[in-house]
Structure 1
Amino acid sequence: MDTPMTTTTLSRAAATPTARVRIADDRAMLKAAAELTRDLNAPRPAVYWADFLGSVAIGYAGLAVAIAATPLWLTIVAGVVAMFALYRGMSFIHELTHVKHASLPHFRLGYNIFIGVPMLVPSFMYEGVHNLHHARTRYGTSDDPEYLPLALMKPWSLPVFVLVAALAPFALIFRYGVLSPLSLLSPSLRRIVVERFSALAINPQFRRRLPEGDFRRQWIAIETACAVWAMSLIALVATGTLPLRAFAIMMAVASGVAVINQLRTLVAHLWENEGEVMTVTAQYLDSVNVPPPATLPALWAPVGLRYHALHHLLPGVPYHALGEAHRRLSAVLDRESPYYKANYVGMPGLIAKIARSTMLPR
């Protein structure tokens, strides 16, 4: 689906400049970003742990209330609270791929215990994958696991892209509860499982490499825990030990988390690149910030994801420092700087922009 398409009109080229015109790097912006944020690169463990554990506690408490509640309204309200809180907790998987683990001792373990295994989204599904998205010569190309030219595809591709995410929790149960144990009996199946079903990627052409060394040992330990949990969940439901109502609520919350994340992914970029290698500035302009005063992004783009374009400029800055980095750059850079061109108001306008792009003739 991400095969490059041919531009047919000059108007189309003008409509999507980041995809059609070679954008030179803006040296002033890049220099300011580097120099003004040198003191912001150190993660603060107390902030990470408090934020993460607080999100987990609220999320599972909300889920418990949703399952135990009798009034439908309370089930819905508690389920929504659980959904957003667990989504925030799951979003820390993004930080795991950027922060040096020595700076956050045992945080990977904590993530996998409280979120990765219970929600079947272990850390290895992003580690070794997301860093490719930030590789200078991979972003926006067919080698980028997290990129599709959605703005250049058919209009129906957008709702399909979002709605298919609702099935993710069921797919993950099947992947870990069925495919993981079966793959022990078949090397060929094992290769398929690792290459195609072990990454949080949206590019269907992406194939991840087989893990090696310490990462492989870590992978096996975490995947074993996921498989045991998934098989146990299947057995609990099949035997009636876990009531269907409780299971349905759990799946509804998990599906909600997946759909919110997919919506956030949809508006994280403009998706206008056709496979060309892009400059850092072009990558920035193809990405999205939704800074204050907008408030809703704090829910649907948590843990620094509201500064996604800025994150592509400064991938080493921890999430809790991105707001300060944005304030510093906004105070210094001229209003004509491309820095401001990646700032948007919110999700509806971004979805409309991408949807309109899919309807243009090409």
Structure 2
Amino acid sequence: MGSTTEDEVGLVRQAFKLTADLATPRRAIYWLDLALTTLVAWGGLGLAAGAHDPVVVAGAGLVSLLAVYRALSFIHEISHLRPRDVPGFRLGWNLLVGVPLMTPSMMYEGVHNLHHAKDRFGTARDPEYLPLGRFSPAGLAGFALLSLLAPLGVILRSGILIPLSFAVPAVRRLVKTKLSALVINPDFVREDNDNSRPDWLAQEIGCWLWCWGVAAATAAGWVPLRLVATWFVVFSLATFVNQLRTLVAHYWHNDGERMSFEEQFLDSVNVPPPALLPFLWAPVGLRYHALHHLLPRLPYHNLGKAHARLSAQLAATSPYHRVEERGLVAALGKLFGRVRLNRLPRSGAEVRQDPLA
């Protein structure tokens, strides 16, 4: 494991050549998508919190959930965008989404790029990788269900730990190193000075003031408690959907060893058309996760075009054709099937089948 062959480099070169004209983000798409998504997200939230008809509440809540999830998913794009690509987008996103969800972009910037580092991917130094393929079915279920507590986590961080950290150095170190990164690897430690930029500090203070402001307005009766409760439920379910998506974003074969580039690519997953539902549960280009690992600089709105080109023009023997799944339920079924199979007792004569074969 760990070496990069000429064939692997060739795959990157072919993919880059075929998609070179798709690498420029279209600013209007980013802004229009964000504006419409946040309008639907917060409008649906308000309607769900204010309606009395259970059907309206459920329908508006579902629409808000999917829109909140889509809006939150733009944090992934922000981690790859350069400031000049879409000027002001990062600030706009934080004001419309990051602060109201108390999940500012600084919690992903400077962290997600480590997941793309070829010497980190799949190892213990990867913030977004665990050997989930070796978990038990109960462990996978627990991994997914834990995400339902995300609203509690951001409230605790923003409303208690951030203000306390400015008075207690030990709490500040804990917040900066262990509680300022969106990760799935519990052993990941962020550098102590990694999130000390003034704009990142402003994001933290913004989340603190938002949390206290909403709490005060709710206590005063200006903000209905039902609106806060609806926000909690919608945010909780949105993070749960994202955790299910995370389970099928990779095959999770590795157990800490350094991987070659092709092994890294083959551990990632695309869920392309004709499946339609990935537009909802893997929004903002996340359905093309393997393609994203191949060409991280491609903007989300061009990933579909890029996938179509690569699928049509790369040779049938290319590894690119080996990383597709049909949908969420099918991919989750395969994952749970693999972990159950891996936990069965085996004799020395048995050979484990390659799940990618």
Alpha-carbon separation, structure 1, partners of 2:4 and 2:129: 19
Structure 2 unaligned spans of 5+: 346-357
Amino acid at match of 1:200: L
Partner of 2:353: none
Deviation of 1:281 (Å): 1.4
Deviation of 1:26 (Å): 3.3
Partner of 2:12: 30
Partner of 2:88: 106
Is 2:45 aligned against 1:63? yes
Matching of residues 272-351 of structure 1 within 5 Å: 272-351=253-332
Deviation of 1:101 (Å): 1.1
Amino acid at match of 1:199: A
Matching of residues 79-98 of structure 1 within 5 Å: 79-98=61-80
- CA gap 1:314/1:146 in 2 versus in 1, 3 angstroms: same
- CA gap 1:21/1:180 in 2 versus in 1, 3 angstroms: closer
Deviation of 1:245 (Å): 2.2
Partner of 2:245: 264
Partner of 1:166: 148
Give the 4+ runs in structure 1 shifted more than 4 A: 20-25, 238-241
CA contact (8 A) 1:26 1:338 kept: no
Is 2:191 aligned against 1:209? yes
Amino acid at match of 1:312: H
- My pick for the range that moved more, 297-306 or 32-41, is 32-41
Alpha-carbon separation, structure 2, partners of 1:71 and 1:259: 25
Partner of 1:195: 177
One of 131, 137, 140 as aligned partner of 1:149: 131
Tell me the matched-pair count: 342
Query: Residue deviations 1:154-208, cap 9 Å, x none?
Result: 2211111111111101110110000011111111110001111111001000011
Alpha-carbon separation, structure 2, partners of 1:291 and 1:211: 39
Partner of 1:127: 109
Partner of 2:213: 232
Q: Share of identical aligned residues, percent?
A: 47
Query: Residue deviations 1:249-281, cap 9 Å, x none?
Result: 111111111111111111111111111111221
Deviation of 1:29 (Å): 2.4
Alpha-carbon separation, structure 2, partners of 1:345 and 1:21: 29
- CA gap 1:166/1:212 in 2 versus in 1, 3 angstroms: closer
Partner of 2:227: 246
Alpha-carbon separation, structure 2, partners of 1:21 and 1:222: 38
CA contact (8 A) 1:177 1:234 kept: no
Partner of 1:16: none
Alpha-carbon separation, structure 2, partners of 1:90 and 1:211: 25
Q: Over aligned residues, Cα RMSD in angstroms?
A: 1.7
Deviation of 1:341 (Å): 0.6
One of 223, 234, 254 as aligned partner of 2:204: 223
TM-score for the superposition, normalised by structure 2 = 0.92
Query: Residue deviations 1:127-174, cap 9 Å, x none?
Result: 000000000100000000000011112221111111111110111011
